[in-house]
């Protein structure tokens, strides 16, 4: 048997996960780390194909596993372009899907120049609520130090501008998140954005971002 046989690797991952009494993030991450160690020196295409096979299983925890597997296999992460990302993102249907995909994959690819602003902006104009959320959450990789971000006011606000009037709850929450993550870098720019768009912004966004600007917290205790 080939050590990197995708069906066999898929079967091993499935059996290991299904044997768990509790499929917590901590347990899944421990399993993912063990497979990441095994796959460390393999070719990116093997990891990519395995990720697609995991996603095809249809469960959110397998999709999460696939995205983490790629994120922690740098050669695979660094080969991602728009078509490959869109294959990996096909079928996203909940916020845990987007909120792993965007900061772990698309946001990193954007920050590194593997995809351009036009790709993120195209997603922001999508009819699919989840791709619109991805466009916003991808900015987290630009602005969160823990994700390797160093702050990118211009690119973040450009995406926020495209979705300022969107009233889908998943997009509204992501817009608030994107703006709040930018506060430590340029509070004046965020304050100006909120003021300029105060008539268009959802009340939730205005409230949470103003709270962040004034108290450092999204929802300070009264």
For residue range 149-187, what is the model confidence (pLDDT) as tens digits? 999 999 999 999 999 999 999 999 999 999 999 999 999
pLDDT of residue 38: 94
The answer to whether 61 touches 97, Cβ cutoff 8 Å, is no
CA distance 178 to 138: 9
Mean pLDDT of the 115-124 span = 98
Task: Inform me whether the pLDDT recorded for 24 exceeds 60.
Answer: yes
Domain 116-222 = CATH 1.25.10.90: yes
Task: Inform me whether the pLDDT recorded for 189 exceeds 90.
Answer: yes
The answer to whether 36 touches 73, Cβ cutoff 8 Å, is yes
Average per-residue pLDDT for the chain: 95
Count of CB atoms within 10 A of residue 4's CB? 17
Task: Please name the helix (run of DSSP H) or strand (run of DSSP E) that holds residue 29, with its range, or none.
Answer: helix 25-39
Among residues 87, 12, 103, the alpha carbon closest in space to that of 51 is found at 87
The answer to whether 109 touches 115, Cβ cutoff 8 Å, is yes
Radius of gyration of the chain (CA): 19
pLDDT of residue 3: 60
pLDDT of residue 180: 97
Alpha helices in 72-139 (DSSP H): 74-77, 82-89, 95-101, 107-111, 117-124, 129-137
pTM of the model: 0.94
Tally the C-alpha atoms within 13 A of residue 22's C-alpha that lie toward its C-beta.
5
Greater confidence (222 vs 68) lies with: 68
Give the least confident one: 19-28, 83-92, 160-169: 19-28
The answer to whether 114 touches 81, Cβ cutoff 8 Å, is yes
Per-domain residue ranges for the chain?
A: 116-222
């Amino acid at each position: 048997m080939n050590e990197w046989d995708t069906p066999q690797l898929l079967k091993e991952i499935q059996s290991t996960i299904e044997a768990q009494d509790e499929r917590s993030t901590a347990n899944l991450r421990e399993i993912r780390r063990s497979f990441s160690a095994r796959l460390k020196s393999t070719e990116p295409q093997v990891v990519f194909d395995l990720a697609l096979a995991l996603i095809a299983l249809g469960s959110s925890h397998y999709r999460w596993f696939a995205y983490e597997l790629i994120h922690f296999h740098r050669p695979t992460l660094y080969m991602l372009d728009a078509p490959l990302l869109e294959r990996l993102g096909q079928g996203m249907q909940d916020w845990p899907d987007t909120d792993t995909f965007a900061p772990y994959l698309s946001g990193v690819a954007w920050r590194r120049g593997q995809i351009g602003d036009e790709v993120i902006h195209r997603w922001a104009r999508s009819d699919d609520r989840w791709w619109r959320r991805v466009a916003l959450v991808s900015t987290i990789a630009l602005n969160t130090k823990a994700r390797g971000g160093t702050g990118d006011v211009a690119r973040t606000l450009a995406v926020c501008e495209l979705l300022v009037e969107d009233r889908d709850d998943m997009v509204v929450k992501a817009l608030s998140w994107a703006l709040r993550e930018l506060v430590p870098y340029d509070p004046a720019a965020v304050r100006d954005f909120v003021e300029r768009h105060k008539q268009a912004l959802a009340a939730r966004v205005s409230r949470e971002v103003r709270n962040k600007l004034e108290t450092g917290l999204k929802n300070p205790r009264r």
